[in-house]
Amino acid sequence: MDLKRKLARLTGVGPGGKPATNRVATLTEPPPRAEDLARVDGPPVTPVDGVTSEASSPTSPPEDGAATARRGVPEAPSDTEPSSSKDPRIEALRRMLADWSERQGQTAARRGPAPAKPRPGPLPVIPQETPHGTVHVSETLLSPEHRHGTAPVAGALDVEGALVARLALHEELAGVDFQRMLFLDTETTGLAGGTGTVPFLVGLAWFEGRSLRVHQLFLRKLGEEAPMLRVLAARMAMSSCLVTFNGKSFDWPLLRTRFVLNRVATPPELPHLDLLHCARRVFKHRGAGTRLVHVEEQVLGHRRVDDVDGSLIPELYFRYLRGGDGSALTPVLEHNANDLLLLAALLGELVRRFRAGDGTAVLPGEDPRDLLGFAGVALRAGDHARARAFAQAATGGSGTVGVEAHALASRLARMAGEPLVAAEHLLQALVTARGFQAATLHLELTKLYEHSLKDLAGALSHARLSAAAELPEDHRRRIVRLEGRIERSTRSRALDLSARPPRSGP
């Protein structure tokens, strides 16, 4: 119960001398508590919260003056000015209410005028007649100069199929015409998948010349998916491949299920470039995860402002279906459009940076963590020259990244038949390596010195420092074998020297 109601019940009148009512103004700051009132000087306070005191209840019957006096509450006279205003409890309540009102006014003055609420409006999509029926569409055409963060969106048109195939570890993409690629991203009623999950927004984007057209298909009512799916199938028939982020595991399997459930012919599957897998391999050394927004901020330098949280999107759509304001879904369409722009910008940026490893471009200023990621991708793709260039550039990194870059550069040098260069990289890595990582490097040096450089003493020296990198029995056998080889080699050299004829004098 708030302070105004307590005061009205004690005095029997509301502010301005009007009869007290149960209507209470909404206040942003809570009124003083009952324990605060108990500290006010004066006679003990009889509870007035409507639960323990009958006199405070608006439905309690009137009492005579004697009964009122016995309860510790002065009897109000019959004139218009209530004598209860002399009650110290009421005076304390009035002072506290005045102080409270003053504080509220000061707070409101600091905050300034409250911003006006946006007027409700329709969802920013328009009905569009197609040969397959009516679909609801939001469409935008972006100029060739449009950038998403630091990367130009049209940079996706400058990719080469062979490089994309190596970057994605997907040879099928080598022959794809990336001028006709289709970017795809969906917003759904949930992330669990299955037949109960419905894609209510299918975002598509494709290039027209060097301009990017963003075409979003919106499901106005559940059960009206068929026209939307047929439009999607028609667009896929004109495209050379799909480009998504986690689309292989989520978006496309979900859409394929919707085609089946709505008895619409499923379009032939296109070559599929899933940038999630590329991002995981390249940016895995950053340690911040590979969520789309993380990649967007850290790689492209684009930070979304007032972006809707993905976990809230299903509820916003269900509110719309229950008759809510359509304009509340505008942030969802913006979120989806940004995801499509990110796909185009990220593809162009990844290929541009991967191309630099062919030696035709300089790699200064690149993040060593990403260089190490590109080196690992190139190695898995069998492009050893590119992998070596990236690994060499990444050796300037600090900590674990620098150690791993030297180790990878050593491996590639050894594969190229350069054991001395390989050993030098491992020795450089040992400068900062510690613990198990250092033991592993010592073990690699042991093998390199024994088998490639034929330096048994060097191999034994490093073997004695590699115990943590192998099983105890294996380590013991390695030490025994190397000691035996050194002993045999020493004895053999001694026998050779003794068997030589003495040198004749001059």
- Rounded CA-CA distance 61/2 in Å is 23
The identity of residue 164, as a single letter, is V
Give the residue from 257, 259, 252 showing the smallest Cα distance to 276. Answer: 252
Give every CB contact of residue 34 below 8 A, 6+ residues apart in sequence.
49
- Given pLDDT bands bounded at 50, 70 and 90, which one contains residue 405? very high
At position 45, the amino acid (one-letter code) is: V
Distance CA 400, CA 436 (A): 12
Task: State mean pLDDT over 436-450.
Answer: 95
Convert the pLDDT of each residue in 458-471 to its tens digit: 999 999 999 999 99
Lowest mean pLDDT among 66-80, 286-300, 459-473: 66-80
Determine the pLDDT at residue 74: 45
pLDDT at site 293: 77
Residues whose CB is less than 8 angstroms from the CB of residue 163 and which lie 6 or more positions away in sequence, other chains included: 351, 354, 355
**Two tokens at 502?**
């003495």
- CA distance linking residue 455 with residue 446, whole number of Å: 9
Q: What pLDDT score was predicted for residue 106?
A: 75
Both tokens of 498, joined, read: 């003794």
Higher pLDDT residue, 3 or 62? 3
Task: Please choose, from the candidates 63, 98, 89, the residue with its C-alpha nearest in 3D space to the C-alpha of residue 11.
Answer: 89
- The average pLDDT across 50-74 equals 43
Q: Which pLDDT score is estimated for 14?
A: 53
Confidence of residue 413 (pLDDT cuts 50, 70, 90): very high
Task: Give the residue-averaged pLDDT of 410-419.
Answer: 95
User: Which range has the worst mean pLDDT, 27-36, 109-118, 292-301, 388-397?
Assistant: 27-36
Compute how many other C-beta atoms are within 10 angstroms of the C-beta atom of residue 308.
Answer: 19
User: The tokens 């005579």 sit on which residue?
Assistant: 64
How far is 188 from 331, CA to CA, in rounded Å?
14
Tokens 């550039």 sit on residue: 393
* Predicted confidence band of residue 124 (pLDDT cuts 50, 70, 90): confident
Q: What is the mean pLDDT of residues 370-374?
A: 94
Which strand (E) or helix (H) includes residue 134? strand 133-142
Nearest residue to 202 (alpha-carbon basis) of 256, 122, 241, 152: 256
Residue found under tokens 């209510």: 200
Q: CA 433 to CA 435: how far, in whole Å?
A: 7
The residue assigned the tokens 């613990």 is: 435
Mean pLDDT for 488-506 is 74
pLDDT of residue 275: 95
Q: Specify which of 189-203, 257-271, 361-375 reaches the highest per-range mean pLDDT.
A: 257-271
pLDDT computed for residue 306 by the predictor? 85
